Chain A
Amino acid sequence: MEAATDAELMQAYARGDMDAFDALYARHRGSLYRFLLGTTRDRAIAEELFQETWQRVVRARHAYRPEAAFRTWLWRIARNLVIDHARRRKPVVTGEPAALAIAGAAAPAALEPLRVLAASEDWSQLVGALEELSEAQRIAFLLRMEEGLSIQEIADVTGVGRETAKSRLRYAMKHLRQRVRP
């Protein structure tokens, strides 16, 4: 199961294999959740969009074709949901409340408490810096950091040209490098 590709897992799930879904979910749940948390800066919304993203995956399981990379497809769904939400949302929570909300999100239990605290501060600092980016730059950065997408894949997910994606990513990194402490 571990060696199976995303596409194979997705096809197996479409045939009725629930374990395949479990494996697929385990593979992408963390990065997807952090991506949504980083883009929405609201835990409740992030959870709502997280669930909605998987719901769309489930609903489209029979229509999924392995010709399309699952990863790109999944992130495109998530990104579209973020954009849709951003268009209809009320003013975003920013600053300290946002950092607190994000820091309150569940962290891996394996981390020891002191490290969790430090890591949460780092994360909050990072999220605070992310807020200063435009949405497109933030999405590009999170796709790169969380899922390790290539520039071309980021371009595919966000529906822009490769150079545009690269430019957004470069700007985001430059800005964040200045804002977060070394």
Chain B
Amino acid sequence: MSTTTPPPESHEPDDLLPDEADLRRHYANASRPEPGAELDARVRRMAEQALDETNGEAPDQSPRVARQRGHSRNAGPARGQRGSGRRRPRTWWLAAVGSVAVAVFAVGLVRHQHIVPPAAQAPARADHAPMSSAASMPANSAAGRALSATRRGEPQAGSASSGPNKKMPSAGASPSPIPPLPTAALQAPQPKPKPEPPSFELVAPSAKALRKPAAPSRAPTPPTPSSPVARLSLRAIPGSTLRATSSASTHDARTLAPEQRSTETKTLQHIRDLFAQDKTEQALDLLKAFRKAHPQQQLPADLREKLPEK
């Protein structure tokens, strides 16, 4: 296959076959019917229409203009920029830019989802205790619970008395590349399992549960394979805030998930906003309801003083 197709007349095929010369002569002498003018016009119109459809009827792309500009081989690429070839790169760039924009938006959204909950919790913690390095581990909800416990002055159960828990990470820690910090962070915050065992202990013995993957969207940094406590803590996250509030009387606030704390923080902020907007009655109703739903939760000072004394 070559691009230098010679004109039919000059094409010299392979050797002539017997009788071919005579037949060629006879064939050449015979009338050579040709398509009529109408058929020519139909074909030409069809070809022109196809170009018009491609070019979107742009005025500078008419065949007359093309003819005026000449048809040498060198003129090809310049004309190519006028026809459909010109729109292709533009479309390509649009698609590429659009894809990048969507990707950036998606990454930003994911980052936002992972970053917002700790940030929302920050004000609630600020009035109690500064953030520790362990609190910066988003996957480690056990550590987060420990912080909550610490700021309420509760004893650190895991630090002294959780012997079995202390051993758990080290038992499976053989291949872990980051044993020191996570282990310490996980061991310290274990709550005391005396009066009411935390919900995660109920599922702890289940090997099946351990194999189940933790919710990935809530754990940007996956727990190390050698830290079953982290897995258990993720398993222990209740499904909804409503359920958590209803069971708040039986469960310690330490078992609350970050989402719940975030919701509480938002509720308190909403109450503050209502006070600020002079919707005192509505704010008080909401504050009372909140207090009733979260009797164990210590209200911030600014809201406590708004609450009428019993």
Residues of A within 8 A of B (CB): 1, 4-8, 11-23, 25, 27, 29-31, 33-34, 37, 47, 50-51, 54-55, 58-59, 61-62, 66-72, 102-103, 105-108, 111, 116, 119-120, 122-123, 125-126, 144-145, 147-153, 166, 169-170, 173-174, 176-177, 180, 182
Contacts and interface: CB of A to CB of B under 8 A. Distances in A.
A101 to B, nearest CB: 10
Contact of A33 (B35, B51, B82, B85): B35
A33 B55 contact: no
Contact of A18 (B7, B14, B31, B63): B63
A169 to B, nearest CB: 6
Interface residues of B, number: 55
A177 B35 contact: no
Given A16-B51, A18-B51, A58-B46, A37 B33 contact: yes
A144 B13 contact: yes
A176 B174 CA distance: 90
B88 to A, nearest CB: 10
Summarize A's interface: helix, strand, loop or mixed.
helix
Interface stretch (B65-73, B131-139, B254-262, B281-289): B65-73
A174 B66 CA distance: 49
A95 B277 CA distance: 101
29 contacts: A4-B73, A8-B3, A15-B84, A16-B55, A18-B48, A18-B51, A21-B47, A23-B71, A25-B44, A27-B7, A29-B34, A30-B34, A33-B34, A34-B33, A47-B35, A66-B3, A68-B1, A107-B32, A116-B31, A119-B29, A122-B31, A123-B30, A123-B33, A144-B13, A149-B11, A166-B17, A174-B19, A176-B19, A182-B22
Contacts of B43: 25, 29, 50-51, 54-55
Given A15-B79, A61-B50, A148-B8, A111 B19 contact: no
Contacts of B71: 1, 4, 12, 17, 19-20, 23
B50 A59 contact: yes
Contact of B26 (A1, A37, A102, A180): A180
A163 to B, nearest CB: 13
A117 B67 CA distance: 39
